[in-house]
Structure 1
Amino acid sequence: MQNKIWRDVQDVEQLSQGIVAEIQEIKQKAEKSEDLVYSMCKDIKSLDIAKRNLTFSIAALKKFIMMLTAIEKLKEHCKEKKYAEVANLLSAFTELSQYFVKFQNIPQILEINGEKEQLIKDLKLQLIDDFILFQKGTNLMQVKDLQDACQTVEHLGLKFRDELIQKVCKYIISPYQELFQQIENRSLETTERRYAWMARVIKDFDTKTQNVFPEYWAVHCQIYYEFCAVTRLQITDILETLKDLDVAVLMKALQATLKFEQKLNDEMKKRYEEWLGKKNINQFAISELPKIKGAISDSFEPYLRPYIDSEEREIMQHIQTILNSDKLDVEGDLKILNSSMSMFAYFKQMLKRASQYSRTQVMFDIQKLIKKALKRYSDEIIFKINQSRNNEQLSQILCCFVINTAEYCKETIPALQESLVQHLDSPFSDQVELSNEEEYFNQMMNKSIETLLVYVDSKIDQFYQQMLKIDWNEFENMGDASKYIRDTISFLEGHIKTIKDLLSESYLIFYLNKLVVYLNNKFINSVFRIKKISEIGLSQLMLDVSELKTNLVRISKLKQESKSQQSFNNFVQKTLSRSDSILKLIQMSIEKFVENFPDYAKKYESAPTDLDKILGLKQLRRQDVPQLNKFFTKIN
């Protein structure tokens, strides 16, 4: 049994050894197969790389041969001026060149690129010659050939296109430059001939080059721009050398220039409307016009002082003329000086004239001139007021007309300022300010009112001199209003009647308010000049104040009741209440006076200065009223 088991064990061992041996053999065979597969794959990969390299080399060789062929054909077509084929070959060569960008340092590539650059350089010179010769009329090329040439130009780039147009423009303008540089043509009188020359040349150019240049190249714009540049230099030179500028000739030349620029600008806008202001895909298309307006006319600006001086002489002479012709038509609808309306109408004409020439410095100088004229007008009116004082009736009427005129001018100045701003470009428009000029007319108005009040004072003062001659301490016969008040009212009645229908309601009330303040102060100052007043005298003075109030309201009454009238009536009562209060304080006992004066002081700012005067009339001294010491402190 044991032997049998031993034999079985031995058999299993032998079998296991056989299996391990077979596994080792299989492993060895697998390793050999793997090496064989790796070797085969490596060979296949090498063959694939070789195939790709061969394919690339063949393609590169083909493209290189194509480039060589393109260069040879390009030379041939350039020589024969077959520009349609040249354009195509340039496009093809550019595309082929992209293939060799990585190999541009290879000698063969460097050589062919250098050959191409030289060829293009020669081609550019040839194209410029062709277009110049065509302008001269010595080139037998047809329009179609030149159209193809334009395509070739675009293939050569925007920079060369601009260079070509500039050369053509300079050739077209060079005869003009020579012609008007001659001594007999170097004057402002030839300005219109310059623009006529340009019109003829453009007409000839259109006839000769019809359909040659692409419209979107805007060759006309460049020709005009070159013309304007040359003209500006020549006109500036003329203006610098002329010693005595004839204003008429100067302005005629400027006007012709502005008209020419405006016409060109409008024409170019219309012609190239399709491309202007747009982001064109075509880089050769015009997107904005060169500066035409002002291209020539701006050169006149520094030399237009004679024009400004001429305008100044004319406006100052005009102001003097219209002032001399002013008439005070009291029956007319408008109670203002006609000269003011004529002046503003003249300003409008000045602006219209100047706007034909400038929106910058010259127009700004005209604005300064208008300000100067407003000051001159105001000064002349004030002088006129002073001169009229010898004629009382005329002076009153004139002052009323001046007040109305000042009102009209102040109302018109904002519109004038707005008009000036609209006629100016920035930054000049930002500097327009006529507030000082408005103040001139406030001064005119104040002068008129002052003159009227001075006239009133000259008449009323004699009545108050009569009042001061009365012995108010011995006054006993109280009755109607005193004679000085009756005379004052009588004068005021005539004065207000004269001016009442000449002033607008607002300015009539404004003046009457001033008049009331004056009358109140006149009365109070006269009272303070009296040494002593009896009880009856005080009562008479109170009656006089009441009479003055009543009659001021009566004689100042407007034709129709209004808020202004009611406001004036209230103003009369309030203003003259100070006179009443002073008379009452004088009439009071010391105790009442001390008790009531603080209330008076609250209402009137003049209370501290009035205090000593009232005490004098009451025959009192400061030490008699120690309770009012704080008011004496204010006086001190």
Structure 2
Amino acid sequence: MALRQSAADVAALTASAPPTPSSLQIGGVALDGGRQSGAAVQAVSGSDVFASHDFDAVDFINRLFPDETSLSSGVDPLVAKLKLRVRRVDAEILQAVRSQSTGGARAKADLEQAQTAIFELNSRIQDIKGKAEQSEVMVQEICRDIKKLDCAKRHLTGTITALRRLSMLVSAVQQLETMAVRRQYRDSANLLEAVSQLSTHFHGYNDIPKVAELQKKHGAVKSDLRAHVFEDFHSTWLPSVIAQDPSAAPRLADACLVVDALEPHVREELVGNLTSKELVNYTSVFDGSIAGAHGDQSRLEAVDRRYAWVKRNLKAKEELWGVFPPQWRVPQLLCMSLCRLTKTHLLEILDTAGPTDVQVLLQALHRTIEFEREMDEYFGAGGSGADDGGGDGSDEAGQEDDDEKDGASAGQVRAKYERMRKEKEVAEQRGGRALPMDSAAASLAKASFRGVISGSFEDHLGPYVELEERQLMDMLDTLVVEETWGKVSGLGGDAEVAGQSSSSMGGDGGGGG
């Protein structure tokens, strides 16, 4: 590296040396000694000959000083220039060394400054991280406080709502007590529904004395209202009272609203008590076991009197039935109970009366079927059959008059007898008296009266069947005796048998009807 630098300096000094008049010859070319030596030095230095592998120092000197003239005249200026160049290079080196030493100190200072900045940046990052953690903790605490406040708000809202409901319940119970004492049933019914709805919100607070006291008052008021309603119905639900007191019927109608607002068993008990009176009156007239002097009323011949009594009673007490809500179906419920009681009575009569006259039996059956049809028309009942007391055999029982004309197969008769036997067993298990009151009044909307009473005759149609059989056999015997066994007469005989049999059954049915 130093050798290349020296060659360059030599070339530079040679280039700056003063020209000499002598001529030099390098490579066969005659050149001016001083001017040509500088150019050669520059050319040699520019080609970096010192770094070449085939560098030859002698050849290089020969090119610088090709002859003696150039050697004598160009050495001193070249040396002077080389020394000047050396001094400049030394000065530059010294300056570079000084600059390098100054740059190292500056670099060290810069490094220290960078390290300080990095440390400060790291400190700031740690501070920011700590503040972020503090902010996160603060946010969590704020969220926790918000949850607490939200829960407190919800509880406070629930408490305020409960207090309002409690205040409304207290006021409603007090008003209900006043209305119950005054027997203002319509307002009491509305308050009963309101108190019942408000009380549902306090079922879980019965251990609180105030709530327990209100529940106790509510129960006492309902008991008082029930007693008042039953008392008013007992003293007011009479045709004479309803006719004389115009306010009696509306008051009882309002009392029914109270009954609807009370427990379901209150309605069943009220309707049961009222209908039981009618059943007792009916039983006192038509039950042979207690009829006494009116024993004729319990005979099978008086069955149409039973039905007349029921229709007359329904017609005479239409105003009484009007106090009940239509959905209660009290008249229909009473009529169904009377029909079932009548069926029980007829079963007792048929079981204990012994052999019965066929005409009386058929007449009673015909009157019974007519009554059932009238009751269906009166109440607008459906044709699905009653749910109890002969509902299964209602279709066949309603077709007894068709059986009288067309006859019934042995399978149908056996099926009827089997059903009647089961019904009789059920009646015996129930004591042979009226069936329990049916509290499901809505089921009566589709119930039919067909077969409710007439089903009691199915097990006692043996005399009628025997009579028809005897008449048919007598008719066949007569026709056989009169038969000429001719083809035409034979056909006529068959037609005559069918015609006479049909007319015979129709005649019996008509006589029974």
TM-score calculated relative to the size of structure 1: 0.47
Deviation string for 1:182-214 (max 9, x for gaps)? 13233223222111111210111113333x223
SS at match of 1:335: helix
Aligned to 2:369: 258
Task: Determine the C-alpha separation between the residues in 2 that align with 1:249 and 1:31.
Answer: 107
Task: Determine the C-alpha separation between the residues in 2 that align with 1:155 and 1:233.
Answer: 35
Aligned to 2:252: 146
Q: Which amino acid aligns with 1:309?
A: E
The structure-2 alpha-carbon separation of the partners of 1:351 and 1:120, relative to structure 1 and needing over 3 Å to count, comes to farther
How does 1:375-394 map onto structure 2 within 5 Å?
none
| Contact kept? 1:327, 1:337, Cα under 8 Å | no
| Contact kept? 1:170, 1:226, Cα under 8 Å | no
The structure-2 alpha-carbon separation of the partners of 1:312 and 1:122, relative to structure 1 and needing over 3 Å to count, comes to farther
Q: Which amino acid aligns with 1:206?
A: E
Task: Determine the C-alpha separation between the residues in 2 that align with 1:124 and 1:316.
Answer: 67
Deviation string for 1:428-483 (max 9, x for gaps)? xxxxxxxxxxxxxxxxxxxxxxxxxxxxxxxxxxxxxxxxxxxxxxxxxxxxxxxx
SS at match of 1:147: helix
SS at match of 2:450: coil
Aligned to 2:501: 347
1:214 has 2:325 as partner = yes
Task: Determine the C-alpha separation between the residues in 2 that align with 1:230 and 1:23.
Answer: 100
Task: Determine the C-alpha separation between the residues in 1 that align with 2:442 and 2:139.
Answer: 65
Task: Determine the C-alpha separation between the residues in 1 that align with 2:459 and 2:115.
Answer: 125
The structure-2 alpha-carbon separation of the partners of 1:207 and 1:90, relative to structure 1 and needing over 3 Å to count, comes to closer
Aligned to 1:300: 457
Shift of 1:228: 1.0
| Contact kept? 1:221, 1:289, Cα under 8 Å | no
1:165 has 2:277 as partner = no
Aligned to 2:16: none
Identity %: 29
1:268 has 2:360 as partner = no
Aligned to 1:198: 310
How does 1:318-329 map onto structure 2 within 5 Å?
318-323=475-480, 326=482
| Contact kept? 1:104, 1:110, Cα under 8 Å | yes
Shift of 1:37: 5.0
Aligned to 2:198: 96
| Contact kept? 1:218, 1:286, Cα under 8 Å | no
SS at match of 2:334: helix
| Contact kept? 1:258, 1:356, Cα under 8 Å | no
| Contact kept? 1:70, 1:93, Cα under 8 Å | yes
Shift of 1:251: 2.9
Task: Determine the C-alpha separation between the residues in 1 that align with 2:275 and 2:507.
Answer: 35
| Contact kept? 2:180, 2:224, Cα under 8 Å | no
Task: Determine the C-alpha separation between the residues in 2 that align with 1:15 and 1:310.
Answer: 132
Task: Determine the C-alpha separation between the residues in 2 that align with 1:163 and 1:172.
Answer: 15
Shift of 1:175: 0.8
Aligned match of 2:339 in 210, 216, 228?
Answer: 228
- Of residues 283-292 and 301-310 in structure 1, the stretch that sits farther from structure 2 once superposed is 283-292
Deviation string for 1:127-163 (max 9, x for gaps)? 3443344333557653333333333333346655444
Aligned to 1:6: 108
Deviation string for 1:331-382 (max 9, x for gaps)? xx94337554332123223554677899xxxxxxxxxxxxxxxxxxxxxxxx
Higher Cα radius of gyration:
2
SS at match of 2:451: coil
Shift of 1:30: 5.0
Deviation string for 1:273-314 (max 9, x for gaps)? 9xx9xxxxxx97556443422222222333333333333343
Deviation string for 1:375-415 (max 9, x for gaps)? xxxxxxxxxxxxxxxxxxxxxxxxxxxxxxxxxxxxxxxxx
Task: Determine the C-alpha separation between the residues in 1 that align with 2:185 and 2:341.
Answer: 33
Aligned match of 1:55 in 150, 153, 157?
Answer: 157
Aligned match of 2:284 in 171, 178, 181?
Answer: 178
Task: Determine the C-alpha separation between the residues in 2 that align with 1:327 and 1:32.
Answer: 126
Task: Determine the C-alpha separation between the residues in 1 that align with 2:510 and 2:204.
Answer: 63
How does 1:478-627 map onto structure 2 within 5 Å?
none
The structure-2 alpha-carbon separation of the partners of 1:125 and 1:311, relative to structure 1 and needing over 3 Å to count, comes to farther
| Contact kept? 2:483, 2:490, Cα under 8 Å | no
Task: Determine the C-alpha separation between the residues in 1 that align with 2:266 and 2:504.
Answer: 49
Task: Determine the C-alpha separation between the residues in 1 that align with 2:325 and 2:174.
Answer: 29
| Contact kept? 1:189, 1:253, Cα under 8 Å | yes
Task: Determine the C-alpha separation between the residues in 1 that align with 2:272 and 2:238.
Answer: 16
Task: Determine the C-alpha separation between the residues in 1 that align with 2:369 and 2:510.
Answer: 7
SS at match of 1:295: coil
Task: Determine the C-alpha separation between the residues in 2 that align with 1:66 and 1:339.
Answer: 91
SS at match of 2:356: coil
1:290 has 2:444 as partner = no
Q: How many residues get paired?
A: 345
Gaps of 5+ in 2: 1-101, 387-439
SS at match of 2:159: helix
Deviation string for 1:496-518 (max 9, x for gaps)? xxxxxxxxxxxxxxxxxxxxxxx
| Contact kept? 1:255, 1:356, Cα under 8 Å | no
Gaps of 5+ in 1: 277-282, 359-636
Aligned to 1:314: 471
Q: Which amino acid aligns with 1:190?
A: A
The structure-2 alpha-carbon separation of the partners of 1:81 and 1:322, relative to structure 1 and needing over 3 Å to count, comes to farther
Task: Determine the C-alpha separation between the residues in 1 that align with 2:205 and 2:306.
Answer: 58
| Contact kept? 1:221, 1:290, Cα under 8 Å | no
Task: Determine the C-alpha separation between the residues in 2 that align with 1:27 and 1:155.
Answer: 69
The structure-2 alpha-carbon separation of the partners of 1:247 and 1:347, relative to structure 1 and needing over 3 Å to count, comes to same
Task: Determine the C-alpha separation between the residues in 1 that align with 2:180 and 2:236.
Answer: 17
Q: Which amino acid aligns with 1:315?
A: L
| Contact kept? 2:183, 2:228, Cα under 8 Å | no
SS at match of 1:336: helix
Deviation string for 1:2-47 (max 9, x for gaps)? 3343333334444444444445455555555555555455444433
The structure-2 alpha-carbon separation of the partners of 1:290 and 1:135, relative to structure 1 and needing over 3 Å to count, comes to farther
Q: Which amino acid aligns with 1:148?
A: D
What is the aligned-residue RMSD (CA, Å)?
A: 3.8
The structure-2 alpha-carbon separation of the partners of 1:18 and 1:243, relative to structure 1 and needing over 3 Å to count, comes to closer
Aligned to 1:466: none
Q: Which amino acid aligns with 1:187?
A: R
Higher relative contact order (CA 8 A, sep 6+): 2
Deviation string for 1:72-93 (max 9, x for gaps)? 3223323333222222223223
Aligned to 1:242: 353
SS at match of 2:489: coil
Task: Determine the C-alpha separation between the residues in 2 that align with 1:3 and 1:63.
Answer: 88
